[in-house]
């Protein structure tokens, strides 16, 4: 213990002053090194657990589905009857319903989601508010001058809040508000254009259209958030070059920005598709839970997730492996779609970085 | 043949003269004659500008339309749920069919207990995985595998988490329980926490980490004393967002925690191995009942649930705002 430095002159947090200066000079003790190694191992172990978890999910559901797979084989995927009394099971209507509702929701979600992403990334909101402020000549006032950016952030957060509302609340809203609201219009469409396949039944309660409506609201924030990120990461020089050539704003958007950001947007759409396929509660409440293969928008139908939610709680021991088989099919579809979406987004990010 | 002198030069002109005339004529002409200035004007009657303005209006309209459902849901919740709101809702048990009054105190408690359980499981797992991912960088094969798994898990259907917990826990322990519900929820919380804590830790300036290591700190000391405290706001944002999502999940609880009309404690102490009520499942169950009282309770429960979820969300966002200000 030679001369210690004057620790009282150390500037900084109190803890630093409190440290024994002797300790700082020492290399890590044996115990500290052991803790270090253990902690690193722990981190790696926990990280590996995430991969193990996915494997476990597949193995667990797959193993429970084996008895049903032995009994029904691949016929399960393309037969249409679901009759627990005779033990005849098929999920073709559910697979069709899952894909049909998801694709329709994806169409509307993409339309509105990408429009909202363009609106947010092009600064329309702040531009509009700036114009309004300019009318009152307060656009540079310290108090009002920040308003445009604040409002744009608020709008972005509001769209993200759409995803925060629990799906069961959307289901409740759809059941007691949306369905009574759209029923007269749907029934009018059916009575006038009943020959058209999409309108070939009337809406008597839960059905595909209200389910699709709520589903597209739920996937819209995903599409908007990812598309907005993709649009913002387009290099500014591309935009300026297009303006310099005399393109109008929308010529720039359609001709330059959207094609450049298309990979990212596509990745977002695929991920949103995955969400739509696996969405459960809103569909279980709104799609009607009818084992029916139909293209009519107003007819009740069923999806894989809704089938599980509605049947599982009261399933007999004999029915459980069958439901596990259906869960396995849903798992396979969503895993493939999600992996594809994650890969597309990873590629898009790598491309954007290389630019 | 016309007699117009311009179109027909006087006879006897040589080629050189004719060329001279032409040059003179061109020099005399107004150089701006050919330009249509109306074309350069910003007029919405031009197809290009018209289309531009039209599309701008359509995009604005569509964005506003996309927000209508959010406000419609909130207004309906306040209108229909607000009517029923009273203190009794938070202290009483769910009513039997045809019974009047009642509340959902046990469901609020059940939701809180299961979400707390899921948080206890996922926070250590997720944050430490985030530490590993941020430290390992892009080269490590395990790290990119873990990152990819987490991304795939974010889109994992919630109902399948319930199916998994049913097979792995309910069938083994022999009954529906809050524990099974909590574990099912934790599968859905994990990816959010991993990905947000990774990005929060990766955003810690490299010089802080290097300074710590340069002072002789071990990797563990660096993680606990430098990385985690600095990244704390970002991590907390992720945790709060994950909690908000888990609190609203119904599907994983349907056949893991089931539902119960009674309080969670039996014989004086908390029992986590029995069927447990939750707000989300209560909304689902009661919305399908043909009784007016139950449907009204479902709306009130939805209001309480949405308020809980939105508050959690806003707290989470305020953490990340603090970090942005730093």
As a three-state string, the secondary structure of A205-267 is: CCCHHHHHHHHHHHHHHHHHHHHHHHHHCCCHHHHHHHHHCCCCHHHHHHHHHHHHHHHHHHH
Q: How close, in Å, is residue A195 to chain B by CA atoms?
A: 30
Give B265's strand partners: B270
On chain A, the residues whose CB falls within 8 A of the CB of B143 are 47
Q: How far apart are CA B192 and CA B181, in angstroms?
A: 18
CA distances to A319, B77, B80, B90, B99 from B83, rounded to whole Å, are: 42, 10, 6, 15, 18
Smallest CA-to-CA distance from B151 within B175, B165, B133, B169 is with B133
Which contiguous run of DSSP H or E holds residue A335?
A: helix A319-354
Closest CB from A112, A115, A280 relative to B251: A280
pLDDT in tens, chain B (326 residues): 444 555 555 566 788 888 888 888 888 877 777 777 766 667 777 788 889 889 999 999 999 999 999 999 999 999 999 988 888 888 888 888 888 888 899 999 999 999 999 999 999 999 999 999 998 877 789 999 999 999 989 889 999 999 999 989 988 888 899 999 999 999 999 999 999 999 999 999 989 999 998 888 888 989 999 999 999 999 999 999 999 999 999 999 998 988 888 887 766 677 888 889 999 999 999 998 888 889 999 999 999 999 999 999 989 888 877 665 54
Closest CB from A169, A251, A312 relative to B305: A169
On chain B, the residues whose CB falls within 8 A of the CB of A65 are none
CB pairs under 8 A between A and B: 261
**Tokens representing A121?**
């990334």
- pLDDT score, position A241: 95
Q: Which residue of A has its CA nearest to B317?
A: A157
- pLDDT score, position A2: 44
ipTM score of the complex? 0.86
- pLDDT score, position B88: 86
Displacement of CA B53 from its chain's centroid (Å): 31
Partner-chain contact A60 B168, CB within 8 Å: yes
- pLDDT score, position A15: 55
- pLDDT score, position A1: 40
Residue A262 near residue A54 (C-beta atoms within 8 A): no
CA–CA–CA angle B303, A110, A352 (5° rounding): 110
Q: How far apart are CA B159 and CA A277, in angstroms?
A: 11
Read off the DSSP letter of residue B215: T
- pLDDT score, position B2: 46
HEC profile of B153-203: HHCCCHHHHHHHHHHHHHHHHCCCCHHHHHHHHHHHHHHHHHHHHHHHHHC
On chain A, the residues whose CB falls within 8 A of the CB of B67 are 155, 158-159, 162
Q: What are phi and psi of B275, to 5 degrees?
A: -55, 140
**Tokens representing B12?**
């006897």
B266 three-class SS: strand
Partner-chain contact A177 B298, CB within 8 Å: no
Q: How far apart are CA A118 and CA A224, in angstroms?
A: 9
| Cβ partners under 8 Å of residue A236, min gap 6 | none
Q: How far apart are CA A156 and CA A294, in angstroms?
A: 37
Displacement of CA B213 from its chain's centroid (Å): 36
Q: Which residue of A has its CA nearest to B311?
A: A164
A319-354 helix and B158-165 helix, angle to the nearest 10 degrees: 130
- pLDDT score, position B324: 58
Partner-chain contact B67 A162, CB within 8 Å: yes
Q: How close, in Å, is residue A310 to chain B by CA atoms?
A: 9
Interface of A with B in 269-328 (CB under 8 A): 271, 274-275, 277-281, 284-285, 305, 308-309, 312-313, 323-324, 327
- pLDDT score, position B85: 87
The maximal CA–CA distance of chain A, rounded, in angstroms, is 99
Q: Please, what are the averages of pLDDT over each run of 10 residues along chain A (355 residues)? A: 49 56 67 91 93 93 91 88 86 93 95 94 85 84 79 86 91 93 90 85 87 94 92 92 91 93 91 91 90 88 92 85 93 92 87 77
* Length of chain B measured in residues: 326
- pLDDT score, position A17: 55
Best residue of B42, B157, B165, B169 to probe chain A, by most A CBs closer than 10 Å: B157
Q: How far apart are CA A216 and CA A184, in angstroms?
A: 21
């Amino acid at each position: 213990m030679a001369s210690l430095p004057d620790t009282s002159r150390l500037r900084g947090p109190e803890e630093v002053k409190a440290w024994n200066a002797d300790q700082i000079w020492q290399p890590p003790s044996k115990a500290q090194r052991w803790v270090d190694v253990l902690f690193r191992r722990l981190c790696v172990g926990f990280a590996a657990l995430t991969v193990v978890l996915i494997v476990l999910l597949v193995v667990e559901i797959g193993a429970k589905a084996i008895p049903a797979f032995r009994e029904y084989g691949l016929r399960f995927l393309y037969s249409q009857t679901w009759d627990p009394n005779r033990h005849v099971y098929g999920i073709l209507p559910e697979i069709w319903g899952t894909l049909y509702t998801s694709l329709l929701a994806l169409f509307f979600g993409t339309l509105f989601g990408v429009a909202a992403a363009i609106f947010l990334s092009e600064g329309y909101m702040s531009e509009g508010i700036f114009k309004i402020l300019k009318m009152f000549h307060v656009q540079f006032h310290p108090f009002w001058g920040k308003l445009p950016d604040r409002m744009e952030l608020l709008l972005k957060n509001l769209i993200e809040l759409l995803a925060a509302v629990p799906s069961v609340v959307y289901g409740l809203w759809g059941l007691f508000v949306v369905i009574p609201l759209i029923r007269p219009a749907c029934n009018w469409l059916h009575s006038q254009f009943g020959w058209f396949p999409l309108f070939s039944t009337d809406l008597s309660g839960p059905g595909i259209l209200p389910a699709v409506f709520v589903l597209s609201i739920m996937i819209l924030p995903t599409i908007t958030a990812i598309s907005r990120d993709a649009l913002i990461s387009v290099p500014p020089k591309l935009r300026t070059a297009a303006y310099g050539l005399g393109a109008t704003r929308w010529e720039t958007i359609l001709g330059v920005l959207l094609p450049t950001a298309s990979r990212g947007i596509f990745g977002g759409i695929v991920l949103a598709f995955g969400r739509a396929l696996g969405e459960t509660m809103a569909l279980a409440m709104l799609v009607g839970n009818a084992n029916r293969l139909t293209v009519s928008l107003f007819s009740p139908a069923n999806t894989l997730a809704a089938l599980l939610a509605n049947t599982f709680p009261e399933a007999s021991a004999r029915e459980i492996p069958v439901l596990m088989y259906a869960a396995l099919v849903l798992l396979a579809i969503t895993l493939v779609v999600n992996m594809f979406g994650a890969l597309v987004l990873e590629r898009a990010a790598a491309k954007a970085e290389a630019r | 043949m016309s007699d117009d002198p311009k179109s027909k030069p006087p006879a006897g002109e040589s080629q050189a003269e004719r060329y001279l005339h032409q040059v003179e004529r061109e020099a005399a002409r107004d150089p701006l004659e050919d330009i249509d200035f109306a074309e350069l004007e910003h007029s919405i009657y031009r197809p290009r500008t018209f289309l531009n303005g039209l599309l701008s209006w359509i995009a604005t309209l569509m964005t506003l339309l996309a927000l209508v459902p959010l406000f419609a849901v909130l207004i309906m919740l306040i209108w229909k749920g607000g009517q029923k709101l009273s203190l009794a809702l938070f202290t009483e048990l769910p009513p039997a069919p045809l019974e009047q009054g009642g509340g959902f105190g046990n469901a609020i408690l059940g939701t809180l207990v299961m979400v707390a359980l899921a948080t206890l499981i996922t926070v250590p797992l997720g944050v430490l995985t985030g530490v590993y991912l941020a430290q390992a960088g892009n080269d490590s094969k395990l790290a990119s595998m873990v990152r990819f798994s987490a991304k795939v898990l974010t889109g994992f259907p919630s109902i399948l988490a319930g199916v998994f917990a049913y097979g792995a826990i309910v069938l083994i322990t022999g009954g529906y329980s809050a524990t099974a519900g909590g574990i099912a929820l934790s599968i859905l919380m994990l990816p959010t926490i991993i990905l947000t804590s990774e990005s929060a830790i990766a955003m810690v300036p490299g010089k802080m980490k290097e300074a710590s290591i340069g002072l002789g700190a071990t990797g563990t000391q660096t993680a606990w004393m430098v990385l985690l405290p600095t990244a704390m706001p970002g991590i907390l944002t992720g945790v709060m967002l994950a909690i908000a999502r888990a609190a609203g999940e119904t599907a994983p609880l349907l056949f893991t925690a089931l539902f119960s009309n009674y309080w969670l404690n039996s014989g004086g102490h908390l029992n986590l191995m029995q069927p447990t009520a939750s707000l989300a499942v209560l909304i689902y169950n009661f919305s399908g009942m043909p009784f007016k009282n139950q449907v009204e309770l479902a709306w009130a429960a939805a209001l309480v649930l949405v308020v809980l979820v939105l508050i959690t969300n806003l707290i989470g966002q305020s953490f990340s705002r603090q970090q942005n200000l730093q």
